[in-house]
Amino acid sequence: MIVINIIGIAVFLGIAILLSKDRKAINKKSVARLLALNIFVGWFLMSFPIGREFIVIAAAAFTSIISIAYEGIAFAIPNWVNVPQMNFVTGALMPLLMIVPFFDILNYFGIMPFIIKWIGRALSFITGMPKFESFFAVAMVVLGNPDVQAVTATQLKQISKQRSVVIAIMSMSCVSAAIVGSYIQMMPAEFVLTAIPLNVINALMIAHILYPVQISSEEDNVTSVDTNIKKKIPFFAFLSNSIIGAGKLVFIVTVMVIAFVSLAKLANAALALIHPAVSLESILGVIMFPFAWCLGLESGEAFQLAEFMGTKLVTNEFVVMLQAQPLMENFSRHMQCVLTVFITSFANLGTVGILVGTFKGIVDIEKNELISQNVKFMILSGIIVSLMSAGIAGLFAW
């Protein structure tokens, strides 16, 4: 099946090239470098002893932070924590009340922006990709939407409208470092943490395949990134806002999960009137099955994965994590890997609306209209990046 997995990666890349806005303008050298970097990162984190140790240490660090968060939760509401099995909100979401402010503090004092800047520069140097786009690719999987757009707002206003579309396409593969703690409470930490750098690389690569833009050396810079945007208010006022924002995030994710699961059940009830065997999951499974099979799975697991993939794209990753969590022990290691990596991002249809709205508040009307006209590339990018990341990680998980 590893041969199918390799062919699948080629198929996903081929689809991106086939659907490119301008195939002749694709920077083949940079794409080749990004693909090679993809494979190296996947191998390093999944198979090389030092990389494996790094994953173990990172997972332990997140687990320690979450354990401390539980102490705060238990102080206020002990009967929610001191139970045999915590519910989804307590176990996965309430730690965000500490984790989000923690990462915001790192941003406030310039620690995360410094790290992002230099990783972005290194990525640009290695791959030959533009500096700002490389910076943005790294920043978006640390800060998440819409913070990354806010931090880069000044330069987003200055770059060309074509580059704005590229940035919007890349943004579909966002994930916030603060929310990773919730992910590893529900899915295998090694695969969640592997997905993050792979998404950075693939978002950059697929965006430039789908919507290639020629950039002159004069345009290729990162000069107007407002890394001190949160220093405009006093620290304790900032911290209070961050904590309140974390509370809103917990509430938003909770109500979205309730709404999406309920609407999916309602859709299934309506579809059952047509035929008892028809469900939203089965329809999505049929649509996504060829792509799931290309990830090197047996037909049975491929169809299960296809159902999860489709559900994630029309709802969100938390809905799938709740559905998949009780079943993970029954899955093969390869299935666990490709499933976890595929769903570790904000790539879903709801994110499209969020991004269009966010960019509308930052860029001018002409740029926003061009972004809106290219929503199809945003959706394609979200799907293909997730498939590529899952395919690359899957090569090293058997």
DSSP 311-327: HHHHS-HHHHHHHHGGG
What distances in angstroms separate CA 208 from CA 95, 122, 204, 359, one per listed residue? 36, 18, 6, 19
Half-sphere exposure of 102 (CA within 13 A, CB side): 16
- Residue 221 — very low, low, confident or very high, per pLDDT cuts 50/70/90? confident
Quick one: pLDDT band at residue 395, thresholds 50, 70, 90? very high
User: Tokens 């029954």 map to which residue?
Assistant: 330
Residue 318 clears pLDDT 60, i.e. is over it: yes
CB neighbour class for 159 (10 Å; exposed up to 12, middle 13-18, buried from 19): buried
Q: Are 347 and 386 in contact (CB under 8 A)?
A: yes
DSSP symbols for 333-349: HHHHHHHHHHHSS--SH
pLDDT of residue 179: 87
Report which of 290, 300, 316 is spatially closest to residue 387, judged by C-alpha positions. 290
Average pLDDT, the chain: 91
Greatest C-alpha distance within the chain = 61
- pLDDT at residue 230 above 70? no
- Taking residues 380-396, what's their average pLDDT? 97
Q: Please check the confidence at residue 224 and state whether its pLDDT lies above 60.
A: no
Greater confidence (150 vs 226) lies with: 150
The span from the CA of 29 to the CA of 256, in Å, is 42
DSSP character for 173? T
pLDDT band for 325, please (50, 70, 90 cuts): very high
- Tens digits of residue pLDDT in 254-311: 998 999 899 989 999 999 999 888 998 889 889 999 999 999 999 999 999 999 999 9
Dihedral over alpha carbons 317, 332, 385, 16 (to 10 degrees): -130
* Interval 22-36: pLDDT, tens: 999 999 999 999 999
pLDDT of 77 > 90? The answer is yes
Average pLDDT over residues 330-340: 96
66-70, 230-234, 377-381: which range is least confident on average? 230-234
- Contact residues for 274 (Cβ-Cβ < 8 A; gap 6+): none
Q: How confident is the model at residue 1 (pLDDT cuts 50, 70, 90)?
A: confident
The mean per-residue pLDDT over the stretch 44-73 comes to 93
State the Cα–Cα distance between residues 147 and 308, nearest whole angstrom. Answer: 28
Label residue 226 by pLDDT band (50, 70, 90). low
Whether 229 shows a pLDDT value over 70: the answer reads no
Tens digits of per-residue pLDDT, 102-159? Answer: 988 988 888 888 888 899 999 999 999 999 999 999 998 888 877 788 778 888 988 9
Tokens of 17: 């090239």
Question: Which contacts (CB < 8 Å, 24+ apart) does range 3-10 have?
Answer: 3/296, 4/293, 4/294, 4/295, 4/296, 5/294, 5/295, 5/296, 5/391, 5/394, 5/395, 6/395, 7/294, 8/291, 8/293, 8/294, 8/295, 8/296, 8/387, 8/391, 9/388, 9/391, 9/392, 9/395
Please determine, for residue 206, whether its predicted confidence score (pLDDT) is greater than 60. Answer: yes
Is pLDDT of 228 > 80? no
